[in-house]
A and B are shown apart, each in its own frame.
Chain A
Amino acid sequence: MPEAVPQTHELYEEIRAVVGAEHVTVEEFARRAYTRAPFYAVGGGGRGKIPGIVVRPGTTEEVAAVVKLANRTKTPIVPKGGGGSVSTFPPLYVGDQSNILVDTHRLNRILDIDTTYMTVTAQSGVILSQLAEEVSKHGFHTYTVDVPIHMDTVGGVLSGFLGGGEPSDMATSGTMNNYLLGLKVVLPTGDIVQTGGGPGTNIHQPRFLHREAGSSDMTGMFVGDGGSFGIKTEATFSIHPYPKVFMLGITDMGSRENMWDAFRELAATDPYPYTRLLGFHQQDGPWYFVHVIRAHTPEEGELKKNILEKICHKHGGQPATVGREILQIANMFSARRLGQQALPMGSTMTYFGEALIPMPQSLEYLDDINALLDETVGDLDIYKRIDFVVPYLRATTITGILLYFGKGTTRDEASQRLHEKALGGMERLFTEKYGGWTETHQGTSLAHSASVWAPSYKNFMRTIKKALDPNDIMMPGLWRI
């Protein structure tokens, strides 16, 4: 039987007075709807703690009022963005049954697009695809995460995934947090703070130009904080002229050695000859590169293409003539279908072991997770597995396996087995062999990062947390600090 879940909350009336009855609920079915992590079947695990109450504030001031109530009563708060967390553990393991879940869905306005100073200011509940779309209408682009672009929010992404993510179509140019200029944050005490070199920090400066210009880089302190240092309500980013030229290509690199030699050289080339690069390999098949080049002029595009082709050719690469299936797989990182197009009806897929790995260890890691996969879920009906490596800036890769289960394995079975048997092994692999440097979303790095922090660093984090959140209400227990 499920655990008994309370149907009332001690702060219900006061929160209702702040946001209005239609924006707060204690209904169990509504609270349970927030406990899912994507990529795991609803019945197969990956469910988080059920909040005691859900609130949807519409303004920074409403967020602050709710946080003050929580602080007064020492009630745990869990901020929630788009619910795009794809790691094993949803962020909702923190706190207890009294948790106030702050859903930022109503903080969904883009407040300002300034093409002179080249900035955009958006509320934290804005979906990244919306941000990209609105900025592009002005001839600019902003750096956002890639695949979950349609579901992740500004606030969620800045709070997790090491503070940023893989930019959409602009992977070589940096992560989102590098282009963050300032934040408006509701601190755990309910105070509102504006960071960055702009109004609220430097009263003579009307615009954010550099986030460190007004003071120490307080903005950075809130990046990747998992929401534990405060609730972000607004963010200002720099924006950049949109590169209109788009070129796509696929190269057959043959062996793994060829692919890896070319991969390393491409990632070390400055400026990058590609905008996106994905290396992938289907069992018993050759390694392929799929690349995207974006440029401001056709000449720039051609130049990049020539450099890229020359490097690939030097290491044995040939322009690939591929069928529909390979093209579909190649789309897995740029298409909304996440590779599902290659599935037979009734099949299901998931990522396995996808992690941010230091480049020198990437292939070893790939071998490790393949072995782990064989040991733990190898007996399931695995229809197809695809190894992939993507450069993440210069020195790291996003490495993992795209796993397709055939009709003999339901999604429920697959995710349950992965959850019960494989994830523990992954956990040990991440922390014990690779130092816990893994891809983690939305502050879910409890097990991955904190366990490998040096004692002095952990103390430092604990001191910051204590100073900002004396009652330990914001994501209490995150990182075990």
Chain B
Amino acid sequence: MEATNLALVKENVTKCMGCGICRGVWERKDVAMCPVWATGVGFEDSSPRGRVTVAQDILDSHISYSSPLADSVFRCTDCGCCATTCDAMDPNTLEPIVNVPQIVRAMRMDLVENSLVPPLVRDYMKAVHINGNPYKQPQDARGNWAKGSEVPLYSGQEYLFYVGDVGSYDERGQKMARSVAKLLMTGGVSLGILGSEEYSDGNDTMVMGESGLFQYLAEANIAAFKKHSIKKIISLDPHSYNAFANHYDQWGAGFQIQHYSEVLAELLSTGRLSPGRLGIKATYHDPCYLGRHNEIYEAPRKVLGAVPGLKLVEMPRMRKSAFCCGGGGGNFFTDLIGGGECSPNRVRIREALDTGAEVVAVACPLCAKMLEDALKAESLDDRIAVKDISEILLDSFA
């Protein structure tokens, strides 16, 4: 069975020392940081170190790709913890020498090319391919979230507000999209949305190894952006941000991308937004695609810090050590990790609760949904709430 994509990252594979630090974080001296390993689902092959060992065995033809192996490979949440903590790191670039997420993506590409993806992954790909979104909703309904609001369609405004799949179709994401849009417009940001002309950003498609579909989606989006001469984009979803900032350039993207938290922070610092007092204690959960993947740690905290009366209490595992909610790498849609007691979102919500905060602030629609699901599973609805930073800001205006 072909392993052509994995062969391209062979050097990456062979540099692994096998020390196992990729499972946890030294500074915190705590339980595993790899959300899959922490969950206890799977065996050593589901830990970053084990994934590298499996990769080497494939390259050495000791084993071949198989369906059970695909289940293991697709459990990775692409949170990037292992790459951040890898011992083999270049001191100048601070880049890990062994990039396990890159190895996993290569294995997933091979699995896709060998038609060995798990059924849930296949269903996701199929839905995106046919419908342009994983919710199997019509493309025409993509902008429905904005109906009844004052959010206009894009017609030459300074910014495109790119909402993404979850913000477009998921009820929780739509709520977040509306609050972000309202705040941006209150702050005087000139923006519009593409509505039915917006396509899935393809980030999770790419991470799941469907590079062809990702290219198709990226090119469709870029064509739409170019058609409307869009030069500046504000993204709702860190997953979209990640795709735009790090992967669209290869197809001539040519636009500037900001996450909405960065724009809100700017509006607050320049006085274009003036929040009211809100006497709450909140903790902040760093989304992986905003934090570890793109190192945006300060902007969301600046937003929270600008609300008078809001006390920010950090969880011990934060910023680059933040614990993944489990929704990355496509698992938000495929749920290959499951929702057991040790599932990442439930572990994370318990950590948030331990801080004594009344609110877990998020800056990602997927994290919001994952943590709200955890609230229900843990029966913590009456003790702690999950809110997007924009929703907290809006609360302060009220």
Contact = CB atoms under 8 A, between A and B. Distances in A.
Contacts of A148: 19-20
Contacts of B14: 41-44, 410-412
Contact of B88 (A44, A103, A108, A348): A348
B21 A106 contact: no
Contacts of A127: 24, 31-32
B187 interface: no
A30 interface: yes
Contacts of A403: none
A130 B54 contact: no
A38 B18 contact: yes
A130 B66 contact: no
Contacts of B20: 38, 82-84, 148, 150-151
B53 interface: yes
A30 B18 contact: no
A40 B47 CA distance: 18
A29 B20 CA distance: 18
A386 interface: no
B26 A336 contact: yes
Chain B: interface size category: 35 or more
B28 A133 contact: yes
B43 A42 contact: no
Interface stretch (B90-98, B148-156, B227-235): B90-98
A130 B29 contact: yes
Contacts of B92: 345
A150 B49 CA distance: 13
Nearest to B19: A38
A36 interface: yes
Interface string B50-71: 1011111101111100101100
Contacts of A151: 19-21, 23-24
B43 A341 contact: no
B89 interface: yes
Interface in B83-105: 85, 87-93, 95, 97
Contacts of B68: 27, 29-30
A338 B40 contact: no
Main secondary structure of the interface of B (DSSP, over half): loop
A25 B43 contact: yes
Interface in B298-327: none
Interface string B149-191: 0000000000000000000000000000000000000000000
Contacts of B49: 36, 83
B223 interface: no
Nearest to B60: A43
A34 interface: yes
6 contacts: A2-B60, A27-B45, A32-B53, A37-B18, A336-B87, A345-B90
Interface of A: 1-2, 22, 25, 27-30, 32-44, 54, 56, 82-84, 103, 105-106, 108, 127, 129-130, 132-133, 136, 148-151, 328, 336-338, 340-346, 348, 350, 410-412
Interface of B: 11, 13-21, 23-32, 40-45, 47, 49-50, 52-57, 59-63, 66, 68-69, 72, 85, 87-93, 95, 97
Given A340-B89, A343-B90, A348-B97, 19 more contacts: A28-B63, A29-B54, A33-B47, A35-B53, A36-B49, A41-B15, A41-B16, A42-B13, A42-B14, A83-B20, A83-B49, A84-B19, A133-B28, A150-B21, A151-B19, A151-B23, A328-B91, A337-B89, A345-B95
